[in-house]
Structure 1
Amino acid sequence: MEKHSENIKILIENVKDKIGKPVSSRVVAATIESFGIRDIDTEADYGVSNIQDLAVYIYRQLTTSIEHKESLNAKEKEFVATNPETIQLSDYMRVKAKLFAQYYPLGIFHLLPVFLQIAAIVAFGYSLWTHVHFNHLQSTAVVLGVIIGIVSTGGFVQVIGRQATFYWNYHDYSMTKKTVDSLLKLGVKTLLVVFASIYFINVFFHIFPFKVLLVIFAYAFLIGTLLLVLAPLHTIRQRWMITISIVTGTVITIVLNQFSTLLIYYTHWIGIAVAILITKIYLSLFFRKYLKKHPPKADLTIKDTVLIYQNHRYFLYGFCVYLFIFIDRILAWSTSKDGQLPFIVYFEKNYELGMDMAILVFLLLAGVLEYSIASFTRFLDITQKVINFQKPKQFNKELFKLYWQNVIVLLVSTLVIYLLIYQVMFASWGYKGQFNEELDNLSIMVCYIGGTGYFFLAWGMLNTLYLFTLGQTLQSVKGIIYAIVINFMVGFVLSRFVSFEFSVVGMFLGSLFFMGYTMKHIFHFFKKLDYHYYAAY
């Protein structure tokens, strides 16, 4: 009897932690079953004939006992601990300012590895995977490798961000690790399948010499694997480790290039491999530590096919976004106004320079996106507490107003970024001062059009983040697929019948469409936000 009483007491606490104060004995019964307890276990473990009788007893205890009068589940306890005061409508501006001060610098700080790569190029002429003295063929091999690596793994990175984060937020560290490990293996296998497919095609069509293909594959494999191992660091909130691994790899690349006779390819490959190794070791040690503190309650297995099926829209979105970003480059590099190219795709320096500066718009808006989604999720909870549930239109209106405020922040930030890029292009300390040459007019035109395109792409991705927050994925996936078609069709026609650099117009129009398409669905989303909010949870 003493054993049964103790087991029931523990079970009551577990039920209370999961659901707080129950609304019926059936909810309690469902919760008990979710713990893996069966009818045949209740007699021996709890001295009760079945789960329903056990649920009735626990329900009475949680609803009538003085001891459990103020029952709160684990999430409610966490909220009370971290949010001791109710935020009034008059406090909104203060909270928004605080969130902006917290998340905008955070988003920019996480781009520190990118800025360090730019600094390394300016100071030393090379970085973790670039070198200013590469000839056009070498640049073609390296950049194609980077593109293949990024596009091939983009879907897996997105799924890691979604599925692993789901388990992490529920403190299921064992499933978080298993999900990450499974997706890393799948990502690497996908890279190998992509290489085999490209090699098979190359055998018949002789697109590139075999040696060039090996260089492409080496960069693609290393960059793709690096992105895969870095992705979980966002999930486990250890993004500072991204900077450590990238900086270490870059330093090793620079040292080897300065003080050894190794080819620049080898110094790059060693540096990237070191960054991968550091990150993988850190992930292993991190999860080992967490699993010691929080051992798994059940030994569940991950089924790859089920994992991908459940997240196929996120996978497709991640793949399509990266594909969209690089289509215009491939189109521009596969034609020329000066005659036939040496290979079907051949690097064009001035176009790449223009797009490299244009993408700074997208990168520097990362802080705005981080702030916008943080403020949305925060005010979802605040607004539903301060607005009566019988006034859903007011709830929707308040949050739609917040959306437009975040769009204004996006616009203002973009104007500041435009001024910065203008200075980089024309100021004495900018491109000319660092590389002793002026930008070609072609690069400037591509930068203007491409930068505006990246602004609209960022706006479309902001819309997508809102939709994804409450599980609305279909329309964003459709939107990016349609945008890819527009990007390719317009870019192909203009690059072939006007001039190669006009492939950037396809990217601009595709981005504009993506923004407009997601905006249309954002309007519908906010009209029924109360429904989507409660349906999602």
Structure 2
Amino acid sequence: MSQVLPTIDDLTAQVVSKIGNPVSVMVVKATLESFGLREKDMLKDYGYNSLDSLSSFIYNKLKATDEEKLFNVKELEKKETLDKNIPVSGYLWVKAKLLFKFYPIGLFHLFPVLLQIVTIVFFGYSLWTFTEFNVMQSTAVVVGVMLGLIISGGYVQVLGKQASFYWNHKEYYKSKIVIKKLIKSGVYGICAVFVGLAVVNFLFSLFPFTFWFVTFMYSLLIGTLLLYTAPFHTIKQRWVISVVVLIATVLALFLKLHTSIHIYITHWLGISTAIGLSKLFLAYFLKPYVVSTEGEIRPKRLIVLYRNYFYFFYGALIYVFIFLDRILAWSADVTQTKKFLFLYEKDYEIGMDLAILVFFLLAGVMEYAIAAFSKFLDINQKKIQFLQTKQFNSQFYKMYWGHIALLFVSAMVAVVILYYIITEPWGYFSAFGEQLGALSIKVCVLGGVGYFFLTWAMLNTLYLFTLNKPHKALRALLISVVVNFIVGFILSRTISYEYSVVGMLVGSIVFLVLTLRDNYIFFKKLDYYYYAAY
């Protein structure tokens, strides 16, 4: 029995279903070819001399049709959801729902950090710290954590960008491959960096071998943990991170309290447990999405690198920026460091650890701001007419400053919390049995202000990332790192080591000013950048 050919009306409807409103005749032709239509069959099947002629007929027919009827399948689904959930009069309610949903989510995902603070306060111990470490031990451990974050940071940033792209487009096999390859590359990257450091250390005898071994172990484990937990952001299962860190912390704490195992080993066993559980959870969640690999195309490595190298360098440099002032402070006092390049400085570190609470407490604002921005981009580009670009841009510019106002309010709350932690008997004194020193308070205040400006700047970069402008964010960050180093180095050497925090503060302000300028240009031409990105 011969197959019934679709009529021209059927073909027209199929073209609309697949591509919506066509932008050119060639798009219509390519779509017809994808349906299996051949040039040699045109005259016999449809009475047209060529596929070009049939394509022109269908294109002209569609251009004479009301645009409201030319939505493809995905556009119809989005329109239906939009019309059902977001009436024009309900924008304020939608914003409120987004705020109550995403602001607490941003704070909730700080649970792993909060858990470490709680265990330090009550037990003097966490999954990667111990209050009774001596100076050399503290230096090795903290440097290991820093390097683990810096080296894995670039891989985590690329993983989040590229794996999320494939995941959101339901290309689950490609997403799985990218996750697997980047985790492996990240682990290799950490090992490669430490091979290089080991060679340098051997040539110049900077630190004892045991120092670098301990540093390497913490760096490798912390970096690997970050790499294995990063995909849970992509697959929207971030609660897993809190669960695995909780289990690992409880195990490590049990070993510390009830066995005579060395503290290093309790840490390594705890972090390894978190890595193992993350790997198991990840395999479990991905399994239903990748049932068969038949016909699947593996993502090309060069394409992934080309698309994401800006994000890679940004992910590494942001941690360099955050930790640079610490290294400058630790290396400024030659009477303490003596023959070593740098040594852990307790009073400075306490001040910065308290200050970074400001950064953590502002995470909810960043979570909400980007969720609201992305949501209303999709809404407004459908609700606002093409010629009303000024209205489109103005709405988002006002929304941006609303988010910054929320950032200021949250910062004031964070300042109040920090004030009570520092001054009240139930705060720092109750936890550690001593008053916070004047130097630590000075560092905390300056560092807290710096972290506020850094958070604002990072929020600006998230807007730039949303519409695929990472090169602007990277340029601003690179300049800010240089400023951070120059100012921190000069002040820590000419005044006192704790003034390296001023380098971080000034660098954060520069980062903010540069990204604020880029965002101003960005919002003034948001319609252009939006359509260029998509």
Taking structure 1 as reference, are residues 451 and 4 closer, same or farther at Cα in structure 2, changes over 3 Å only? farther
Taking structure 1 as reference, are residues 323 and 340 closer, same or farther at Cα in structure 2, changes over 3 Å only? closer
Letter in 1 for 2:29: A
Offset from partner CA, 1:226-285 (integer Å, 9 cap, x none): 001111100110001001111111111011112222111111111111111111111112
Establish whether residue 20 from structure 1 lines up as the match of residue 17 from structure 2. no
SS of aligned partner of 2:156: helix
SS of aligned partner of 1:301: coil
SS of aligned partner of 2:84: coil
Equivalence for 2:428: 431
Q: CA deviation at 1:19?
A: 2.3
C-alpha distance in structure 1 between counterparts of 2:4 and 2:216, whole Å: 62
Equivalence for 2:267: 268
Of 380-389 and 183-192, more deviation after overlay is shown by 380-389
Equivalence for 2:211: 212
Equivalence for 1:400: 397
Q: CA deviation at 1:485?
A: 0.2
Letter in 1 for 2:235: I
Of 382-391 and 108-117, more deviation after overlay is shown by 382-391
C-alpha distance in structure 2 between counterparts of 1:78 and 1:103, whole Å: 21
Q: Determine if contact 2:393/2:524 at 8 Å carries over to the other structure.
A: yes
Taking structure 1 as reference, are residues 203 and 241 closer, same or farther at Cα in structure 2, changes over 3 Å only? same
C-alpha distance in structure 2 between counterparts of 1:401 and 1:169, whole Å: 28
SS of aligned partner of 2:489: helix
Equivalence for 1:234: 233
Q: Determine if contact 1:62/1:71 at 8 Å carries over to the other structure.
A: no
Equivalence for 1:310: 307
Equivalence for 1:360: 357
Q: CA deviation at 1:341?
A: 3.1
C-alpha distance in structure 2 between counterparts of 1:191 and 1:223, whole Å: 10
Taking structure 1 as reference, are residues 358 and 17 closer, same or farther at Cα in structure 2, changes over 3 Å only? farther
Establish whether residue 506 from structure 1 lines up as the match of residue 503 from structure 2. yes
Taking structure 1 as reference, are residues 19 and 433 closer, same or farther at Cα in structure 2, changes over 3 Å only? same
Equivalence for 2:375: 378
C-alpha distance in structure 1 between counterparts of 2:208 and 2:231, whole Å: 36
C-alpha distance in structure 2 between counterparts of 1:10 and 1:276, whole Å: 54
Offset from partner CA, 1:95-114 (integer Å, 9 cap, x none): 22221111100100111111
Offset from partner CA, 1:356-394 (integer Å, 9 cap, x none): 011111111110011111111122233333433212112
Alignment of 1:206-355 (within 5 A): 206-292=205-291, 295=292, 298-336=295-333, 338-355=335-352
Taking structure 1 as reference, are residues 56 and 172 closer, same or farther at Cα in structure 2, changes over 3 Å only? farther
Establish whether residue 409 from structure 1 lines up as the match of residue 406 from structure 2. yes
Of 407-416 and 298-307, more deviation after overlay is shown by 298-307
Letter in 2 for 1:284: A
The gaps in structure 1 that reach 5 residues or longer are: none
Q: CA deviation at 1:28?
A: 3.5
Q: Determine if contact 2:86/2:94 at 8 Å carries over to the other structure.
A: no
Q: CA deviation at 1:402?
A: 0.8
Q: CA deviation at 1:211?
A: 1.0
Alignment of 1:457-468 (within 5 A): 457-468=454-465
Letter in 2 for 1:490: V
Q: With structure 1 as the length reference, what TM-score do the two structures score?
A: 0.91
Letter in 2 for 1:245: V
C-alpha distance in structure 2 between counterparts of 1:277 and 1:118, whole Å: 23
Q: Determine if contact 1:63/1:69 at 8 Å carries over to the other structure.
A: no
SS of aligned partner of 1:81: helix
The gaps in structure 2 that reach 5 residues or longer are: none
Q: CA deviation at 1:74?
A: 2.1
Letter in 1 for 2:102: Y
C-alpha distance in structure 1 between counterparts of 2:198 and 2:102, whole Å: 44
Q: With structure 2 as the length reference, what TM-score do the two structures score?
A: 0.91
Alignment of 1:112-127 (within 5 A): 112-127=111-126
Q: CA deviation at 1:30?
A: 3.2
Taking structure 1 as reference, are residues 57 and 183 closer, same or farther at Cα in structure 2, changes over 3 Å only? farther
Equivalence for 2:478: 481
Letter in 2 for 1:203: F
Give the total of aligned pairs.
530
Of 190-199 and 55-64, more deviation after overlay is shown by 55-64
C-alpha distance in structure 1 between counterparts of 2:424 and 2:29, whole Å: 70
Letter in 1 for 2:80: V
Taking structure 1 as reference, are residues 170 and 59 closer, same or farther at Cα in structure 2, changes over 3 Å only? farther
C-alpha distance in structure 2 between counterparts of 1:285 and 1:91, whole Å: 39
Q: Determine if contact 1:15/1:32 at 8 Å carries over to the other structure.
A: yes
Q: CA deviation at 1:15?
A: 5.8
C-alpha distance in structure 1 between counterparts of 2:409 and 2:512, whole Å: 17
C-alpha distance in structure 2 between counterparts of 1:51 and 1:180, whole Å: 43
Equivalence for 1:532: 529
Letter in 1 for 2:503: G
Establish whether residue 198 from structure 1 lines up as the match of residue 161 from structure 2. no
Taking structure 1 as reference, are residues 251 and 40 closer, same or farther at Cα in structure 2, changes over 3 Å only? farther
Q: Determine if contact 1:333/1:348 at 8 Å carries over to the other structure.
A: yes
Taking structure 1 as reference, are residues 144 and 156 closer, same or farther at Cα in structure 2, changes over 3 Å only? same
Of 105-114 and 296-305, more deviation after overlay is shown by 296-305
SS of aligned partner of 2:260: coil
C-alpha distance in structure 1 between counterparts of 2:364 and 2:230, whole Å: 18
Offset from partner CA, 1:394-422 (integer Å, 9 cap, x none): 22111111111111000111011011011
Q: CA deviation at 1:64?
A: 11
Q: CA deviation at 1:124?
A: 1.8
Q: Determine if contact 2:119/2:126 at 8 Å carries over to the other structure.
A: yes
Of 143-152 and 22-31, more deviation after overlay is shown by 22-31
Q: How well do the aligned residues superpose, as a CA RMSD in angstroms?
A: 3.1
Q: Determine if contact 1:337/1:499 at 8 Å carries over to the other structure.
A: no
C-alpha distance in structure 2 between counterparts of 1:416 and 1:144, whole Å: 31
Alignment of 1:25-36 (within 5 A): 25-31=25-31
Of 393-402 and 413-422, more deviation after overlay is shown by 393-402
Equivalence for 1:81: 81
C-alpha distance in structure 2 between counterparts of 1:42 and 1:158, whole Å: 50
Of 242-251 and 77-86, more deviation after overlay is shown by 77-86
Alignment of 1:122-141 (within 5 A): 122-141=121-140
